[in-house]
Amino acid sequence: MNNFELYNPTKLVFGEGQIAKLKDLVPQNARVIMVYGGGSIFKNGIYDQVKAALEGFSVTEFGGIEANPHYETLMKAVEVIRNEQLDFILAVGGGSVIDGAKFISAAVKFAGDPKEILHKRMSIRDNAIPFGAVLTIPATGSEMNSGSVVTIAATQEKLAFGGPAMFPVFSICDPKVIISLPKRQLQNGVIDAFTHVMEQYLTYPIDALLQDRFSESILQTLVEIGPKVVEQPENYTLASNFMWCCTMALNGLIQKGVPTDWATHMIGHELTALYGIDHARTLAIIAPNLYKVLFSAKKDKLAQYGRRVWNITGNDTDAIAREAILKTEAFFAEMGMPGNLSSQTPDYANTANIIVQRFETRGWAKLGENGIVTPDKVKEIVELSY
């Protein structure tokens, strides 16, 4: 096992009816900016619950943060905070709104052009505005991690940043919020969380026995409940387990002491930036092909995953690893994910070259565990995904 440090200051408040606790979680006398997305919160009652809990607080509202939040939109919120001297951000939404809040938090007091935060993939350590979240869609883990992904619309770049000052002070996770989610978003949440675990698990054996079993238990739970929760989001047992899986998949715990990959995400972000494909769907398109192209480096873990998550038996490591990839593809298909890029955009033909060129411009010559995802591999993976 590798050495590690574990730091996670987010207070997670989980369960039905917990949005009412906002009144105790938001600092008294705070001048709050409440940020939200395209308006789903007005239709499903979440807005009303938040407003009721914040009665008596000074709250300025800023809506319209789009899915895959735009730098350009977030900078408008930064202006509001500066002009009105607000000092606490409340994100009410999913990964996009929470990631947006993180960027706003970092940008308000940033000396210089806030685009640098993204272009230099900065680690924000201080000078951030504190923020909390009310989660409305389980998927990203953003409610309990310090990462954020923001799109610069003008240049079609989707870029990540983070840092120890980017943890929410608190996040409220009420599983009941998923009832109003469209099936497509429920499917996305399951597959995003599943792939988060895979990015931190499917590398090579490093004798991290507990971390492996943490990861496998999240994967097994998602396999068990994923197909059901998209059909019955009102089932609290399914909803609560789904939501907790998503948080646990990317709150930092399972990545401690182990190598991580993240190349599926890096390639997937480009597909969203270029063609607007939902985040989770890009992962489903890329991940199995990445496992195929990097088979020899990943086959030991693939076989372990095959045995423990999919109950594949036998002694032939290669055969079990290959079957594990097939099982993964079948699960993604069952969850409504697309199997290839050409089903999502007519413009796919030159995608591999575009992505390789972008990665080379950014100096990303060695992604993945041990830097094994080199530009030639990126090309192969993307072309295999057409």
Residue 67 binding target from Zn ion, ligand NZQ, none, CB below 5 to 8 Å by type? ligand NZQ
φ/ψ (deg, to 5) at 197? -65, -45
Residue 52, number of CB atoms within 10 A of its CB: 12
- 């597909």: which residue's tokens? 271
Residue 344 binding target from Zn ion, ligand NZQ, none, CB below 5 to 8 Å by type? none
The answer for 111, left when phi > 0, alpha when psi is -120 to 50, beta otherwise, is beta
- 């000074």: which residue's tokens? 58
The correct pick among 99, 143, 174, 192 for binding Zn ion (CB under 5 A) is 192
Decide whether 86 or 239 has the Cβ nearer to ligand NZQ.
Answer: 239
Decide whether 157 or 192 has the Cβ nearer to Zn ion.
Answer: 192
Return the residue nearest Zn ion (CB atom): 192
Three-state DSSP class for residue 162? strand
The correct pick among 185, 255, 304, 328 for binding ligand NZQ (CB under 6 A) is 185
Residue 221 interacts with ligand NZQ (CB under 6 A): yes or no: no
φ/ψ (deg, to 5) at 291? -65, -35
Decide whether 150 or 320 has the Cβ nearer to ligand NZQ.
Answer: 150
**Strands annotated E in the chain:** 11-14, 31-36, 58-62, 88-93, 131-135, 147-152, 157-162, 170-173
The correct pick among 114, 132, 141, 368 for binding ligand NZQ (CB under 6 A) is 141
Residue 278 interacts with Zn ion (CB under 5 A): yes or no: no
Which of 81, 79, 105, 109 is closest to 91 using CA atoms?
A: 105
DSSP string, 10-59: -EEEESTTGGGGHHHHSPTT-EEEEEE-SSHHHHSSHHHHHHHHTTTSEE
The answer for 93, left when phi > 0, alpha when psi is -120 to 50, beta otherwise, is left
Do residues 373 and 367 make contact, with C-beta atoms less than 8 angstroms apart? yes
Residue 68 interacts with ligand NZQ (CB under 6 A): yes or no: yes
Least gap, CB of 138 to ligand NZQ (angstroms): 8
Residue 67 interacts with ligand NZQ (CB under 6 A): yes or no: yes
Decide whether 103 or 110 has the Cβ nearer to ligand NZQ.
Answer: 103
Residue 147 interacts with ligand NZQ (CB under 6 A): yes or no: yes
Decide whether 192 or 216 has the Cβ nearer to Zn ion.
Answer: 192
The correct pick among 181, 193, 239, 273 for binding ligand NZQ (CB under 6 A) is 181
The correct pick among 8, 44, 217, 374 for binding ligand NZQ (CB under 6 A) is 44
Do residues 65 and 75 make contact, with C-beta atoms less than 8 angstroms apart? no
Residue 142 interacts with ligand NZQ (CB under 6 A): yes or no: yes
The correct pick among 25, 26, 53, 137 for binding ligand NZQ (CB under 6 A) is 137
How far are the Cα atoms of 68, 98, 251 from residue 12, in angstroms, in the given order? 24, 14, 11
Binding mask 236-255 for ligand NZQ (x = CB under 6 A): --------------x-----
Residue 96 interacts with ligand NZQ (CB under 6 A): yes or no: yes
- What is the contact surface with ligand NZQ in residues (CB under 6 A)? 37-41, 44, 67-68, 93-97, 99, 136-137, 139-142, 145, 147-149, 177, 180-181, 185, 188, 192, 250, 265, 279
Given the rule CB under 5 A, which residues bind Zn ion?
Answer: 192
